[in-house]
């Protein structure tokens, strides 16, 4: 399928391995990415707390750019983009007069947002468009024995009504479903749906890093090999800031955190290095060791 692809800012900034791994994984799932390279930042909730109309208009612009492509829908790879964009879209779709007002600002650039765009995070696309059975069928290297803890990021699970979580769309369980479809073992731990702390890292560092450190510690206690997240901002607090979080919570953590496309890529046969895992602050040694063992076992089996 063809999608208008919004990679977000951080996937091309401080977590380049996310954008890179998505580009590697997409063709393996027959997803054609039409990158919205003229798109703009979603505001991450911060522009909305400065001026709501500004955030709404900026996102309407990205939506309008997506609607100019022949993509079936718009896809993002960031929980925060998903949540911030869904919030703006809720207002734009709910009120025709407001939509016209916003569209007048977009008019000079020749853009118009038409109500009802489908904008889905890669996680939702995997489950709702690709399908878990189809995903399972494409797995060439099941994640057998790999213990993976899900970490969603707040923006992709709350508020439930805006995010579209209901009995038919248990989007707050999709990571578990995907880990399972890839052959991995789902690790249940306290922090999976909690806040990574990133939004307040410059305002209340102690609270922010306590959040990150506590969730990572819970995952360590649950004997997870790694966490997986669809949110690069969570990745910043859980991976980039992990050495500082260790100091705040006073314990060694060493918990690798993978981006969702990296985990999918691993099961589709890509190598850790191709997926940019060497770029993480916390080396995903457990994951690399796992993949080395699996490859070695496969080689032995072939030799036999």
State the residues that interact with another protein by CB under 8 A. 9-10, 12-17, 38-41, 43-54, 56-58, 61, 83, 90-91, 93-96, 98, 105-106, 108-109, 111, 154-155, 158-160, 194-195, 197-200, 202-204, 206-208, 210-211, 214, 240-241, 243-244, 278-281
Q: How far is the CB of 74 from another protein (least distance, A)?
A: 16
Work out how close the CB of 76 gets to another protein at its nearest, in angstroms, rounded to a whole number: 13
Closest CA to 265 of 291, 285, 239: 291
Cβ-based nearer residue to another protein, 149 or 284: 284
Closer residue to another protein, CB minimum distance, 110 or 137: 110
- Cα 7 versus chain centre, distance: 10
Q: Where are the beta strands (DSSP E) in 137-243?
A: 147-150, 185-186, 226-229
SS3 of 130, please?
helix
Residue number, 34 or 244, with CB nearest to another protein? 244
Minimum CB separation from another protein for residue 214, in Å?
7
Spell out where 106-264 has E strands: 119-121, 147-150, 185-186, 226-229, 257-259
Quick one: 64 or 130, whose CB is closer to another protein? 64
CB neighbours (10 Å) of residue 192? 22
* Closer residue to another protein (CB): 278 or 292: 278
Closer to another protein by CB, 144 or 160: give it: 160
CB 205 within 8 A of CB 263: no
The strands making up 257-259's β-sheet, listed across from edge to edge, are 185-186, 147-150, 226-229, 257-259
Closest CA to 36 of 4, 3, 68: 4
Name, in order, each residue with C-beta under 8 angstroms of 145's C-beta and a sequence gap of 6 or more: 185, 290
- Angle between the 96-106 and 52-68 helix axes, to the nearest 10 degrees? 80
The least CB distance from residue 188 to another protein, in Å, is: 11
Can the peptide bond before residue 159 be classed as cis, meaning omega within 30 degrees of 0? yes
**Pick 63 or 130: Cβ nearer another protein:** 63
Helix (H, G, I), strand (E, B) or coil at 277: helix
Nearest distance from C-beta of residue 195 to another protein, angstroms:
4
Closest CB to another protein among residues 162, 293: 162
Residue among 76, 123, 74 at smallest CA distance from 228: 123
Question: Closest distance between another protein and the C-beta of residue 285, in Å?
Answer: 14
CB 69 to another protein: min, Å: 16
Please state, in angstroms and rounded to a whole number, the distance separating the CA atoms of residues 174 and 54: 32
How near is the Cβ of 52 to another protein at its closest, in Å? 5
């Amino acid at each position: 399928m063809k999608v208008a692809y919004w990679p977000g800012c951080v996937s091309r900034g401080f977590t380049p391995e996310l954008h890179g791994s998505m580009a590697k994984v997409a063709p393996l799932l027959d997803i054609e990415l039409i990158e919205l390279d003229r798109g703009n930042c979603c505001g991450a909730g911060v522009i909305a707390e400065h001026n709501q109309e500004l955030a709404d208009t900026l996102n309407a612009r990205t939506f309008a750019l997506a609607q100019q492509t022949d993509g079936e829908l718009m896809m993002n790879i960031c929980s925060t983009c998903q949540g911030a964009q869904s919030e703006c879209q809720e207002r734009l779709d709910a009120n025709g007069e407001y939509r016209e007002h916003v569209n007048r600002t977009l008019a000079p650039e020749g853009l118009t947002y038409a109500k009802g765009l489908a904008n889905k995070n890669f996680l939702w696309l995997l489950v709702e468009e690709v399908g878990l059975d189809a995903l399972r069928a494409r797995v060439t290297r099941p994640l057998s024995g790999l213990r993976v803890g899900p970490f969603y990021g707040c923006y992709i699970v709350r508020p439930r009504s805006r995010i579209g979580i209901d009995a038919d769309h248990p989007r707050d369980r999709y990571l578990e479903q995907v880990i399972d479809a890839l052959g991995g073992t789902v690790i249940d731990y306290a922090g999976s749906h909690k806040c990574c702390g990133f939004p307040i890292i410059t305002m209340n560092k102690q609270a922010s890093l306590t959040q990150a450190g506590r969730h990572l510690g819970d995952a360590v206690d649950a004997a997870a090999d790694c966490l997986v997240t669809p949110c690069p901002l969570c990745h910043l607090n859980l991976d980039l800031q992990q050495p500082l979080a260790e100091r705040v919570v006073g314990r060694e953590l060493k918990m690798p955190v993978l981006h969702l496309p990296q985990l999918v890529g691993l099961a589709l046969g890509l190598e850790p290095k191709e997926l940019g895992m060497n770029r993480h602050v916390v080396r995903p040694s457990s994951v690399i060791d796992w993949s080395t063992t699996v490859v070695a076992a496969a080689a032995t089996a072939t030799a036999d």
